[in-house]
Amino acid sequence: MSKKATIYDIAKELKITAATVSRALNNNPKISEKTRELVQATATKLNYKQNKLALALKSGKSKNIGVVVPYINRIFFSSVIRGIEDELYPKGYHVIIAQTHDNKEKELKILQNLLNEQVDGILISSSYSNNEKHKLDYLVKKNTPFIFFDRKLNFPNISSVTLNDYQGGYDATKHLIEQGCMRIAHFLVDQELELYKNRFKGYKDALEKSGLPFLPEYVVTLKSDIEAGREAAKTIMKLPLPPDAIFSSTDYGLLGAVQYLNELSVKIPDDFCVVGFSNAPFTQFLETSISSVDQSPVEMGKTAAKVFLEQIENEQTVKICKNVVLPAKLIVRKSSGKIN
């Protein structure tokens, strides 16, 4: 296979200058119709394709954006990326993805690498908590736009797109109360992360508003997996006065709990109601489908992409910063459907 054709090749062919070729190709008005056609003809003839790398070096815009997530094969993140790609591809951007594996040092390296790659922006769901966000300080202050999604860090003047986790927690708990549940337990995942704290807060506020007592022994902190959920359920069901419902910040943890409750022959939803968070695909496929709070991940991705575009388009004029909060949507299914 021969080398790729450049504008010089087509210039030589036509005995004109590369500059002229460039102008013709870019539909510069100051060019004769004749040469334009001639150039375009030979361009297709030689199968010329613009080298985006050279353009990027020249213009300082790579038309690449970096997307950084813990693991790309978690359905939530892959759906966000889907939204980002859907939105950005038509605008000529390419999406570079990188996984942190929830490792903070790796995240740091990835960010540096992406910046060296001259990405035009970075969309990230960070592994850092707000306590240690200062380690990213010098990166965020560079010229490249940062947009945080889902897992946000509070930097002044930095945009973010997050879910209204507080409202999600509140709605879920309120719904359980409306179903007649009086002793609602909560599965909490990571006290460090803002979004889990907010769901927890929503839970507490909903209890308070309804005059139900908040009982610390009804709150279990656990990892987001089935086994941990099973153990957590075991713990709360051993209490002198076991709960009659769970609002869980993790669908997987909740699944483990449901499995354990089934073994105890506890009837869901008749004697026990549960609501999860994330709306993982499996929740709707179970015989006793599980209510859960949907995070609209694709929408979140699209929104993050739009915020990025706004920011990049207004670069010269004003530095804009937006903090979008998307609504959480409670999806009621059989697991909490006493009334219907």
Binding site for DNA (CB under 7 A): 3-4, 6-8, 15-20, 22-26, 30-32, 34-36, 48-51, 54-55, 57-60
Residue 173 interacts with, from its own copies, DNA, none (CB under 5-8 Å by kind): none
Residue 85 contacts its own copies per CB under 8 A: yes
Report, in Å, the least distance between residue 220 CB and DNA.
51
Q: Write out the two tokens for 270.
A: 């008749």
Report, in Å, the least distance between residue 253 CB and its own copies.
13
Residue 9 contacts its own copies per CB under 8 A: no
Spell out, one character per residue from 154 to 193, where the chain touches its own copies: x when CB under 8 A holds, - when not. Answer: ----------------------------------------
Residue 78 contacts its own copies per CB under 8 A: yes
Residue 32 interacts with, from DNA, its own copies, none (CB under 5-8 Å by kind): DNA
Q: Which of residues 95-124 bind its own copies (CB under 8 A)?
A: 95-99, 112-118
Cis peptide before 327 (omega within 30 of 0): no
Closest CA to 96 of 85, 80, 107: 85
Out of 45, 91, 135, 141, point to the residue binding its own copies (CB under 8 A).
141
Binding-site ranges for its own copies (CB under 8 A): 1, 49-54, 56-57, 62, 64, 71-75, 78-79, 81-82, 85-86, 89, 94-99, 112-118, 141-143, 255, 262, 281-282, 285-287, 298
